[in-house]
Structure 1
């Protein structure tokens, strides 16, 4: 499928979209299932879900992920936006938001993933550590892996 780049109003709002030949409900189910986040992660940092978390996400749900970026660590996320089949977003301690929106297009779905760090108080650190440079490619890889996962089932 084609990956579409959207204009970036800020270096701290990175957005990419991809048309996936699958219904929105199938795609949303993957996004709402923490156990599948490591399967679709394009950054290579998400290693798996932590035990005792929810099997499926909902507004306000808290869930932990095992991560690795040079060193292993754990991160606790909270679902901050949730519209069944259409939108899901999460954030953790640093205030940046990972958001997915789904727009049905006939038998396909336009999936947009955003990394929104406009509310982060230490934005300069994100830029100096390379997050603003790495995230566009990571998001594109995530959307490609999501596409492969939902269309190969």
Structure 2
């Protein structure tokens, strides 16, 4: 299920895993390319787990509208409430190391439905994007199924993580 509003789009899926396990997968930047529903996220340049608000993690990206396709983004964690919520805003790192954010963010809200199920809501919000960026980039910059695809990928990763931990 997904809903679209003027400045955000959301999708919700029930995942067959405890919230802590879902959160652990989301807090691991190395899983983000497998979760991504667009194929734009390639690899985690920063591989440390997300553990605090303000933490920055960079991702290698590939998008046909970029020069040569490849670019990096710098994400900054702005929500971290294990195992209930995690989110980051996306931007870029300038040559001088300064971070500049475009005004959009990703967040996941996790609601335990019992010991082995979690309702996960993914929110892509662009309400803080300045008009000059909106004029250049259409929002959202992906189709309506992107968030649903991402949540399905997350559910598959969590299932693999669950079976790996029970097989050890």
Per the normalisation by structure 1, the TM-score is 0.87
The structure with more radius of gyration: 2
TM-score, with structure 2 as normaliser: 0.80
**Pairwise CA RMSD of aligned residues?**
1.5
Q: Once the two structures are superposed, what CA deviation does each residue of 1:29-61 show, in whole Å capped at 9, x if it has no partner?
A: 0110111111111110000011xx351112110
Structure 2, unmatched stretches of 5+, are: 91-100, 164-168
Aligned length: 143
1:91 equivalent to 2:89? Answer: yes
Q: Does 1:125 align with 2:136?
A: yes
1:69-148 matched pairs, under 5 angstroms: 69-70=63-64, 71-92=69-90, 93-106=101-114, 107-122=116-131, 123-127=134-138, 131-132=139-140, 134-148=142-156
Structure 1 residue runs of 5 or longer lacking an equivalent are none
Q: Tell me if structure 2 keeps the 8 A contact 1:16–1:136.
A: no
The alpha-carbon deviation at position 137 of structure 1 amounts to 1.2
Distance in 2, Cα, partners of 1:75 & 1:132: 17
Q: Post-superposition, which runs of at least 4 consecutive aligned residues in structure 1 deviate over 6 A?
A: none
Deviations 1:65-123 (A, max 9, x none): 00000200011110011101111110122120101010000121000001000111133
CA distance in 1, matches of 2:9, 2:112: 22
